[in-house]
Structure 1
Amino acid sequence: MPHNEIRMPKPGDAITEAELTQIHVADGERAVEGEPLYELATDKVEMDVEAPASGVVTWKVDAGGTYPVGELLAVIEVA
């Protein structure tokens, strides 16, 4: 089954890590493309990140943690 890897984005040029502050779609639930998937925060910005595809989400990390840019956060299994 095809899947999309969700990795920590780089919200700014000097940013090397960000905190995943809130998960909007729970583990095992269905994400909808274009809808908020999670929220991240740095010392300069807070932002929602949209799901790049529709499908069932499997989280690899927990909300409240700080993760480096590029870290695998979740996988969306596209049905």
Structure 2
Amino acid sequence: MDITSPKILKLKGALFLFLGVLSGALLLFPDYDPRRLVLFAITLWAFCRAYYFCFYVLHHYADPSFRYAGLWSIVQYLFKKRKP
């Protein structure tokens, strides 16, 4: 079942944002250290860039004909042997 209601989609996005802020706060604040904040920011940035690479760069630049169904299909695509 696909969600098509704009209100529910916005609520879903807001919940993801809330979960991210809450989990980040729970990771950082009990034992706050500026280095931990920097490492957390780098980790977040790196995963965002990896996601962008998987779903934009591969599709638009590497192989526009391939349709991805999720991260597992991308892993299979990246490791399958191609004919020269």
Establish whether TM, by shorter chain, passes 0.5: no
TM, length-normalised to structure 1: 0.21
**Larger fraction in helix:** 2
If asked which structure has higher relative contact order (CA below 8 Å, sep 6+), I would say 1
Tell me which protein shows more strand as a share of its residues: 1
